[in-house]
Amino acid sequence: MTQFFNSQAEMAILGTCILNNAYLAKIADLIEEKHFYYEENKVTWNRFVEVANEMTADEVTLGNFFETNEILKEAGGQIYLQNLLSEASVMIDIRDYAKTIIGLWQKRELQKLLAQSLESLNEKKFEFVSANLENEISGLEIQEPKKKTQHVSEILEEMRIEEEAGISAKFVPTGFEALDKVLNGGIYAQQMMIIGARPSVGKTSIAQQIILNASKSKRKCLFISLEVSKKDVVLKFLANLSSVGTWKISKNFKKTQSEEGSLVAAKNQLKDFGIYTNDSSYLTISQIGRIIKNQIEKQPVDLVVIDYVQIVRSDDGRGRNEATIIKETTTALKAMAKQYDVSMLALAQINRKAVEGANQVPTMNDFKGSGGIEEDADVAVILHRDRTEGKEDGYFSSSGKLIVAKNRHGRTGEIPIHFEGEFGRFNELNNNF
Local mean pLDDT, 10-residue blocks, the chain (433 residues) = 78 89 80 91 92 86 90 90 82 79 86 70 53 52 55 73 63 90 89 88 90 91 90 88 81 77 88 90 83 86 90 66 79 85 90 60 72 81 76 65 87 87 80 63
SS3 199: coil
Exposure class string for 387-398: b at 16+ Cβ within 10 A, else e = beeeeeeeebee
Q: Is 202 left (phi over 0), alpha (psi -120 to 50) or beta?
A: left
211 and 305 Cβ atoms separated by less than 8 Å: yes
Backbone angles phi, psi at 225, to 5 degrees: -105, 100
Cβ neighbours of residue 413 under 8 Å, at least 6 residues apart? Answer: 182, 403, 404, 433
Strands 396-407 and 221-225: what pairing? Answer: unpaired
Determine the longest span between alpha carbons in the chain, in angstroms.
Answer: 83
- How high is the pLDDT of residue 127? 52
- To the question of pTM greater than 0.85 for the whole model, the response is no
- How high is the pLDDT of residue 208? 92
State how far the alpha carbon of 177 is from the alpha carbons of 15, 190, 423, 431, in Å.
31, 21, 20, 6
371 and 327 Cβ atoms separated by less than 8 Å: yes
Backbone angles phi, psi at 172, to 5 degrees: -115, 115
Query: How far from each other are the two terminal CA atoms of the chain, in whole angstroms?
Result: 56
Structural domains in the chain plus CATH codes: 1-168 (1.10.860.10), 171-428 (3.40.50.300)
- How high is the pLDDT of residue 128? 47
- How high is the pLDDT of residue 302? 92
Helix (H) or strand (E) holding 231: helix 230-242
404 and 182 Cβ atoms separated by less than 8 Å: yes
Helix (H) or strand (E) holding 332: helix 322-340
Question: What's the rounded Cα separation, in Å, for the pair 111 and 136?
Answer: 12
- How high is the pLDDT of residue 129? 45
- How high is the pLDDT of residue 410? 81
Q: How many CB atoms lie within 10 A of CB 192?
A: 28
